[in-house]
Amino acid sequence: MTTVAQLVVPTEDVMLSETFAALPELDVRVKTVAADGPHQTMPLVWITGASKRQIRNALSDDSSIKEFTSLLEHDASEWLYRLEYTADLEALFSAVFTNNGTILDAECSADAWTFHLLFSDRGLLSEAIPQLEDHGLQIEITRMIGADRNTDLGAMTLTEAQENAIREAYERGYYDVPRQLSLEELAAELDVSHQALSERLRRANKVLASEQFDKLESDGLVQ
């Protein structure tokens, strides 16, 4: 059966741990993970939380980054980069692709990378995990879901950042009536951009609503 898995890997096992160490307030959002030929995969990431010069210096000093290219700029405070990693990180992506897996999306924090992977068969996922661990990667499967052609893949997974965002929004009164603070105020308190927080809450709400509807449907309460 087609399977979507959420894998968490320590940042130090993937890339950017040295960049986060140099700039702890950095906010990194993975726009996409794009293939550039059969053997190289380039993460495209939005980075904010420091000046462009500071980000450039941190990436230059990061031993996990082979090359980086600045592609776009937003409001002179957020930049889109294409990252090329060093050769030893190829193991993570090759283990996925050689087992006919697909990277749906990814998210990065100072502590961990979270990957959402799709495999045409659960057995192929089982083949990929030992290959990753053989390369010294610490893999934690935090979620695994069967999928079919009617499944909305974009609404299946709740990332760590989305979970944290919706928890903070709930605890700080963003969902109260009346609201205790605005989205802009919440973003400022969490030290993330308004755009990033809005996207995280939107995705998180969609995931939770989908899960609740599926539960009601399985219980026979809706048809």
Residue 51 counted as domain residue: yes
CA distance 184 to 199: 13
- Three-state SS at 80: strand
* Residue 13 shares a structural domain with residue 53: yes
Describe the crossing of helices 90-97 and 122-134 by its angle, rounded to 10 degrees.
160
With 60 as the cut, is the pLDDT of residue 150 above it? Answer: no
**Structural domain that includes position 11:** 3-148
Window from 86-90, 114-118, 190-194, 214-218 with minimum mean pLDDT: 214-218
- Both tokens of residue 84? 């090329």
Domain co-membership, 91 together with 178: no
Q: Is the model more confident about 147 or about 73?
A: 73
Please state the rounded mean pLDDT for residues 210-219: 55
Please check whether residues 141 and 31 belong to one and the same domain.
yes
pTM comes to: 0.64
* Cβ contacts of 126-132, under 8 Å, gap ≥ 24: 127/99, 128/95, 128/96, 128/98, 128/99, 128/101, 131/91, 131/95, 131/98, 131/99, 132/91, 132/92, 132/95
What's the whole-number mean pLDDT along residues 16-34?
85
**Sign of the C-alpha dihedral computed for residues 83, 56, 113 and 90 taken in this order:** positive
Query: CB of 141 within 8 A of CB of 133?
Result: no
For the ranges 65-74, 129-138, 139-148, 160-169, the lowest mean pLDDT is seen at: 139-148
Nearest to 41 by CA among 10, 82, 79, 78: 82
Domain count across the chain: 2
Q: What share of the chain is helix, strand, coil (3-state, %, to 5)?
A: 40, 30, 30
Domain assignment of residue 153, yes or no: no
Strand partners, 48: 27, 78
Give the separation between CA 210 and CA 143, rounded to whole angstroms. 15
Give the C-alpha separation, 122 to 142, whole Å: 15
pLDDT for the residue 167: 86
Q: Out of 12-16, 49-53, 128-132, 163-167, which region has the weakest mean confidence (pLDDT)?
A: 163-167
| Nearest CA-CA partner of 34 in 88, 78, 93 | 93
Q: At what angle do helices 194-218 and 183-190 cross, to 10 degrees?
A: 110
Strand-strand pairing, 27-35 and 140-146:
unpaired
How is residue 194 written in tokens? 């308004």
From 148, 181, 210, give the residue that closes a domain.
148
Residue ending a domain, choose from 148, 175, 195: 148
pLDDT at 158: 63
Q: Find the range with the poorest average confidence among 40-49, 84-93, 171-180.
A: 84-93
pLDDT at residue 37 in the model: 46
Tell me, yes or no, whether 117 and 50 share the same domain: yes
Distance (Å, rounded) from C-alpha 39 to C-alpha 204? 32
Domain-located, residue 154: no
Task: Record the tokens describing residue 159, joined without a space.
Answer: 């990332």
Cβ proximity of 6 and 144 under 8 Å: yes
Kindly report, residue by residue over 50-77, the tens digit of the pLDDT.
999 999 999 999 999 989 999 999 888 8
